[in-house]
Amino acid sequence: MADNPSIRSVVEVLQGLEQDQLFVEYQAVFDVASGAIRGAEALIRWDHPDRGVLSPAAFLDLALRGGLGGLLTELVLESAVGQCARWRIQGFDVPVSVNVSAVALAGDDLPSVVATVLDTHQIPPDRLTVEITEHACSVENGHLRSSFTALARMGVRLSLDDFGMGDSSLSRLQQLHFDEVKIDRSFVSHVCHRPTDRNIVEFTTRLAHSLGMKVVAEGVESAEVLRTLVDLGTDLAQGFHLHRPSLPTEFPGVRLRDRQAG
């Protein structure tokens, strides 16, 4: 993926959308205990005609500030749920997860958009996970809570992303109906060599389990880290050591135990 300077024009992002230059890759999420693939996180990319393939860091903040968050959310939702449907037809029933901005959740129409996409592709709600960062959900917002409640009642799974980097309270974890927490990569990457990070991962895992939530470890970059996560009881894991984001046609059929020995 190209390491390019950030895009500076909202118009350029809009043109990229209109010209179908934005697309979605998928990163596999593995069950730490069994080694089976348990999900696929949808990640937006931009095949820029001059700068090559860009990650969200190059354009996402600008797009959100420019009011394009809704369009981007619909694009990723449609792509991910549609891909989930195509995989199911092929006999590969893997849930998909989509990152949603606080801006999209603060609006009134996200639950209806999600319901329409799921109905169009005939996908059960529990095959979709909506992710939001801890920082975003720490802001008191009535619309956000309403959206979360509506999605939860619909049967969509909810995930708290980048856990440990924000300031959400324990009560908020319960109030917003989260099904899982994703421990930020900044803690996971040093879990083997920093006792404080190991303690954070272990405490978060125990806390989440006590509240009935699953735990996902992000940013797994080595077999050593993966083995430590097994010891700490983490449920799920993703990262470059396991699988780099790829197009749907390149999505893996590997099992996690092969990576533990790598």
pLDDT values of the chain reduced to their tens digit, one per residue, 262 residues: 554 566 778 899 999 999 999 999 999 999 998 888 999 999 999 999 999 999 999 999 889 888 888 899 999 999 999 999 999 988 889 999 999 987 777 766 889 999 999 999 999 999 999 998 777 676 556 677 788 889 999 999 999 987 766 555 555 666 677 899 999 999 999 999 999 999 999 999 998 999 899 999 999 999 999 999 999 999 999 999 999 999 988 887 644 444 455 5
Q: Which of 91, 94, 40 is closest to 242 using CA atoms? A: 40
Q: Which of 100, 69, 98 is closest to 81 using CA atoms? A: 98
- Contact, 103 vs 69, CB < 8 A? yes
Stated length of the chain: 262
49's CB contacts (< 8 A; 6+ apart) are 21
Residue carrying the six token digits 């959310």? 73
Which amino acid, residue 14?
Answer: L
- Contact, 237 vs 37, CB < 8 A? no
What SS3 state is found at 113? Answer: helix
pLDDT at 257: 45
167's CB contacts (< 8 A; 6+ apart) are 134, 135, 138
Q: What is the DSSP letter of 48?
A: E
Residue carrying the six token digits 């129409």? 109
Q: Is 64 left (phi over 0), alpha (psi -120 to 50) or beta?
A: alpha
pLDDT at 144: 76
Q: Alpha-carbon distance 175 to 188, whole Å?
A: 26
Q: Tokens standing for 132? A: 């939001």
165's CB contacts (< 8 A; 6+ apart) are 133, 134, 135, 184, 186
pTM score over 0.85: yes
Structural domains of the chain ordered from first start: 10-260 (3.20.20.450)
Q: Cα 261 from chain centroid?
A: 26
Q: Alpha-carbon distance 15 to 10, whole Å?
A: 9
Calculate Rg over the CA atoms of the chain: 18
If residue 39 lies in a helix (H) or strand (E), which one and from where to where?
strand 37-48
pLDDT at 128: 98
Name the CA dihedral angle for 209, 258, 262, 44, rounded to a multiple of 10 degrees: -70
What SS3 state is found at 242? Answer: coil
